[in-house]
Structure 1
């Protein structure tokens, strides 16, 4: 699953790099930072116990992605990485991140909603840290906690 997402990130990023005026010498590094921002954004949401934000993002529409806090966090992290690690100007980094992250998320959402050729939420959760590990972190490893924790266990 992560390999599919990584491939998608590479495809979208490489197209946007040339549009943003970023040197082709930096394609690999920019793509890596983009991937890290997306994957870490998902992981941060999961480890923070905010599965609702992830399921809402993946199950919802893609028309308002720039108003989604998770997407904005990914953009902010990517801009920071591109400026501090790669030395890109803030304007170029911001333009690139604001263009590429919504396109990547939109593609992931489309694949998540496509029954024939899609991603499954449980596969994504598993690839980002393992289903059992996520459930244990939400429930403290205890059974029968009720409420949202029991509902989430039903997903797996």
Structure 2
């Protein structure tokens, strides 16, 4: 699941790099930093217990993706990484991050809503949790095992 998100990040960020006037030598590093920022932002939401915020965002219930707190956190982390690790100017990094992160999240939401293979909310949430609580969360959100599987996983946590 995370591999599919990473591929989506690669597609969107490489086109934004070309538009943003960023040198092509940095494309790979920028794409990696972008993917890390987005995936870590999603994982951080799970770790922080903001499950409802994350499910609202990924299910398309968030009204303005660009101003969503989870997304703004991802943008901030990406800007910091692009400036600190890759030496981009704050303006270029900010413009890139504000363009690419909402596009990636919107694309993920569209794929979930469109029922595209491999893009379902329970799989994404399960992969973000990396087992344990993440598997429980996926089960509660309608995974293959249903509530019975969720209860079994909950028992396994204690």
TM-score calculated relative to the size of structure 2: 0.82
Superimposed CA distance per residue, residues 101-141 of structure 1 (whole angstroms, 9 cap, x where no aligned partner): 010000000011112546111111222233533367x9xxx
Q: CA RMSD in A?
A: 2.3
Query: 1:61 Cα deviation (Å)?
Result: 5.1
Alpha-carbon contact 1:110-1:118 (below 8 Å) kept: no
Provide structure 2 residue ranges, at least 5 long, that are not aligned to the other structure: 151-158
Question: Which residue matches 1:145?
Answer: none
Match of 1:148 in 2: none
Contact 1:108 1:119 in 2 (8 A): yes
Greater Cα shift, 43-52 or 121-130: 121-130
Q: Which has the higher contact order (CA 8 A, sep 6+)?
A: 1
The alpha-carbon deviation at position 38 of structure 1 amounts to: 0.3
Q: Does 1:122 align with 2:122?
A: yes
In structure 2, C-alpha distance between the alignment counterparts of 1:63 and 1:51, rounded to whole Å: 17
Paired residue for 1:65? 65
Q: TM-score under structure 1 normalisation?
A: 0.83
- 1:35 maps to 35
**Structure 1 unaligned blocks of 5 or more:** 139-150
